[in-house]
Structure 1
Amino acid sequence: MKLPIHNRAFHYNDSFFETVMVVDGNLRFWRDHQARMREAAEALRLAIPAYFWNGELEDNLLYLARQHNSSKMGRLKLKVWRSGGGLYTPQTNEIEWLATAEPKQAIPEAGLIIGICQGVRTCYSSLSHFKGPHAPLYVLAGIEKQNKDFDDMLLLDAKGNVSELISSNIFWLKQGELFTPALETGCVNGILRRNILRWSQQQGIAVHQVIAKPEALLQAELVFASNVTGIRGIIKLENHTLPLDNERLQALKAGLQV
């Protein structure tokens, strides 16, 4: 594959991406992915072609998954960027895109041990709710995770409030009510996050999108991470052991079919 030297994703990160799971020949949560792509396109002022919405792109992504033995369970990555050249001021709002596919194993059942990231903080903006523009932040958090030998890192916002993990949203249950950081903390508005909130409300579970310090996690009955690959319990934060209500965790997984 060759990209032109003026590629705007390379020069300016003028782009976004979606990670989509293929399960049993279907794009899981595809309508939610389409909704987030619309949101990203509006924020970046990108002109997305009609075939992104009318079924043509979906058919082509599933064909790609079949060609790469990823139809039973696989992960697709769709990268979308502004075409043309220009400096900060672009020449066009039209797009180019690239999709890749690879087989994926089910995520482990073992609980996560996480640390609190010290090197970077999340920052709320009109671009922080979708994937791509703030990617270097997560790269640096990933390096810190590697150096400190944690499974993941808890990212805080500029005021020290809980925001998210490196590639997952974070939730906790307390007294039967569900809590997750508000988008104002700079967290990504994850696809599974949307579905967890929707399902919980349908089940009559009180849902709160909050501004909270890390200490709130220590008082919870269950803390878990979610992204499009699935849900995993969190069993330890730094040196603090967290309770794991496995019955509730499994009920959530069953309800969402992840």
Structure 2
Amino acid sequence: MINYNGSLVASSDITLHENRAFLYGDSIFETLRVLDGKVLFLEDHYFRLMASLRIVRMEIPMNFTMEYMEEQVQLLVNSLPAAPAYRVRMSVFRKPGGFYLPTDREVEFIVTASALTEPLYSINEGNYEVDLFKDFYVTKQLLSTLKSTNKMVQITGSIYAHENGLQNCLLVNDEKNVVEALQGNLFMLTGNNLVTPPVADGCLNGVMRKQILELAKKIEGLEVTEASISPFDLQKADELFITNVIQGVQPVTKYRKKEFVSTTAAELVKRLNAKIRFS
């Protein structure tokens, strides 16, 4: 079951050869985590989605309020078998017509959902090895910070990671600075200094990134900064971890020959779950 433009249907019956998301990647999406019928970090997701739609000049319907967005997610989730939590994706795309220049800037949307096995976030204690993916670069531009359906760098990087027995790869921008992982933002701890690349370097403007920055700034003795990270910096780090809304915080255990601890990551997960419980 999916939610297509506000109606629960088994299939959207979209004509694929006319769909602009398929033809041109003309689509923006949000990946959400839903717990007890509530969209976590709803306000952050909504305002990022609205900002993204404006940046790519999609026509935002007048009724597409934050309450409407939540209602559409709940409409689908409430129709599904009960689960501890849900992974939900809302995809927004322009209506058919035109080639590169659309003939209609108005949008349609699809909401899909799948069950998650755990209600709250937890630390994955298993091995999690990463390396750099240098076949393609992330460009330092505003479009790189959006969740669009143009994800060829992430797709080819994921294949590279799989072929080389890695759990993830780190992406670099056109200035050779490390900006993010294939499916999440990167944080690096060196001593008492926690660093994450700035959005200006081309990383995704992540919702979980924002939560972790806010929580980390409340940890006594921890200096939190947004600054460029070079590949050489990774070798000197004490801890690396990756963040996204579905996983939460994923510690990196190994980068090349360097192994890492996960003390700060574990503390942030505790604080993240406490925020969710009492918000």
Q: Deviations over 1:162-211 (max 9, x none)?
A: 11111011101223221011223221111100111122234464322111
| Residue 32 (1) aligns with residue 38 (2) | no
What letter is aligned with 2:250? R
Give runs of aligned pairs for residues 34-113 of structure 1, distance below 5 A. 34-69=46-81, 72-106=84-118, 108-113=124-129
Q: Could you tell me how far apart the structure 2 residues matched to 1:134 and 1:54 are?
A: 25
Which residue matches 2:5? none
The residue number in structure 1 matching 2:189 is 173
- The secondary structure found in structure 1 opposite 2:30 is strand
Say which is worse superposed, 70-79 or 186-195, in terms of deviation: 70-79
Root-mean-square deviation (Å): 1.9
Matched, 1:210 2:227: yes
| Aligned residue pairs, count | 256
Which residue, out of 211, 215, 222, partners 1:199? 215
Per the alignment, residue 252 of structure 2 pairs with 234
**Of the candidates 219, 223, 237, which is equivalent to residue 220 of structure 1?**
237
- Contact 2:249–2:269 at 8 Å: present in 1 too? yes
- Which SS does the other structure have where 2:174 is aligned? coil
2:7 aligns with none
The percentage of counterpart residues that share the same residue type is: 27
Match of 2:13 among 2, 25, 28: 2
Paired residue secondary structure (1:10) = helix
Offset at residue 133 of structure 1 (A): 4.6
CA 184–111 in structure 1, closer or farther in 2 if over 3 Å, else same = farther
The offset of 1:124, in angstroms, is 2.0
Q: Which shows bigger deviation, 54-63 or 38-47?
A: 54-63
User: Quick check: 202-211 or 3-12, which moved more?
Assistant: 202-211
The residue number in structure 2 matching 1:115 is 131
Q: Distance in 2 between matches of 1:138 and 1:27?
A: 26
Moved over 6 A (4+): none
Secondary structure of 2:217's match?
helix
TM-score, normalised with respect to structure 2: 0.85
Distance 2:78 2:223 in 1: 40
